[in-house]
């Protein structure tokens, strides 16, 4: 394990630290820094950020932050927030033809509840999918830690019976993901491939960054060869170039796959990709529960940590 892997492991550990979270949240400039990666806390902020991104021909997927909900009322609140968001996007003509969609963590809508969690999450996800359909857009189910993978894929299969355009997310750091890619590389199947951002044991996930990248390429080959719609979630120039080459090799048109990047990371490159005629979608998170999200983003791309720490200690 090299230095970057150790840093990543440490940041993932910090994502669970209440003490560190409290310290960062109380730092005077934290909120200003966080706004680079999280545009705000409510629906209005998310809609405003979406409008700005659409003005530069970038597509959007929006995540209302929160996960591991153990309260049915909170899960219902999350559903209501998504429904309100989708209505607001429709009212502003931002969601049509899937230009702005939503990403949903099932643990935020009930999956982690001790009684009937999977059924509650499925029912709640259906409500969001109905609202998305009414707004002429789609839903993508975010993937979380490996203990939820089977449940998430099971719920995905159920949702796709009525909402076939529901998107999936697969994580290349899991040993199982090549097989999952083969299962999901079917006609009409939207699959976002990312590296993965949770702290996982070596028994289920690659620990070395190079191994994760190699797995990413193997998975990407399967998706590009298949009949589905690959969504290439990466900021790594090498992987982006490989994705373009694979798409060309398999005769894919620019509208048969897309690139995805996180809000606030490589925005100039996002615009360049869109200007070249490729589909470029930006993952926009919003809400009060930004801390865990932010730490995982630092772990995915440790170069961001230097910017964040410098901002925390600066006076402006």
Is 142 considered catalytic here? yes
Q: Which of 8, 54, 142, 180 is catalytic?
A: 142
Is 192 considered catalytic here? yes
Those residues whose C-beta lies under 8 Å from the C-beta of residue 141, and which sit 6 or more positions away, are 103, 104, 106, 125, 152, 155, 156, 159, 166, 167, 168, 169
Q: Which residue has tokens 């076939």? A: 164
| Three-state SS annotation for the chain | CCHHHHHHHHHHHHCCCHHHHHHHHHCCCHHHHHCCCCCCCCHHHHHHHHHHHHCCCCEEEEEECCCCCCCHHHHHHHHHHHHHHHHHHHHCCCCHHHCEEEEEEHHHHCCCCCCCHHHHHHHHHHHHHHHHHHCCCCEEEECCCHHHHHHHHHHHHHHHHHCCCCEEEEECCECCHHHHHHHHCCCCCEEEEECCCCCCCCCCECCCHHHHHHHHHHHHHHHHHCCCEEEEECCCHHHHHHHHHHHHHCCCCHHHCEEEEECCCCHHHHHHHHHCCCCEEEEEEECCCCHHHHHHHHHHCCHHHHHHHHHHHCCC
Q: Which of 8, 54, 192, 244 is catalytic?
A: 192
Catalytic residues: 142, 192
């Amino acid at each position: 394990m090299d230095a970057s892997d150790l840093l990543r492991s440490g940041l993932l550990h910090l994502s669970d630290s209440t003490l560190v979270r409290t310290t960062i949240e109380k730092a005077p400039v934290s909120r200003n820094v966080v706004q680079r990666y999280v545009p705000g806390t409510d629906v209005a902020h998310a809609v405003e950020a979406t409008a700005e991104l659409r003005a530069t021909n970038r597509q959007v997927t929006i995540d209302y932050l929160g996960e591991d909900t153990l309260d049915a009322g909170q899960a219902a609140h999350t559903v209501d927030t998504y429904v309100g968001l989708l209505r607001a996007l429709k009212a502003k003509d931002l969601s049509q033809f899937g230009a702005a969609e939503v990403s949903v963590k099932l643990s935020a809508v009930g999956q982690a509840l001790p009684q009937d969690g999977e059924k509650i999450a499925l029912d709640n996800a259906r409500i969001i999918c109905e609202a998305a359909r009414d707004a002429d857009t789609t839903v993508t189910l975010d993937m979380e830690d490996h203990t939820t993978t089977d449940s998430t894929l099971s719920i995905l299969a159920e949702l796709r019976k009525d909402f076939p355009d529901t998107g999936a997310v697969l994580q290349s750091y899991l040993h199982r993901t090549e097989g999952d890619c083969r299962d999901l590389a079917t006609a009409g199947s939207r699959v976002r491939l990312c590296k993965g951002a949770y702290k996982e044991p070596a028994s289920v996930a690659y620990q070395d960054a190079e191994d994760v990248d190699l797995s990413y390429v193997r998975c990407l080959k399967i998706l590009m060869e298949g009949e589905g719609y690959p969504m290439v979630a990466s900021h790594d120039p090498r992987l982006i170039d490989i994705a373009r080459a694979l798409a060309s090799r398999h005769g894919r048109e620019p509208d048969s796959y897309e690139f995805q990047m996180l809000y606030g990371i490589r925005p100039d490159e996002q615009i360049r990709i869109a200007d070249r005629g490729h589909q470029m979608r930006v993952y926009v998170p919003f809400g009060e529960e930004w801390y865990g999200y932010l730490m995982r983003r630092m772990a995915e791309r440790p170069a961001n940590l230097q910017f964040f720490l410098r901002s925390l200690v600066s006076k402006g």
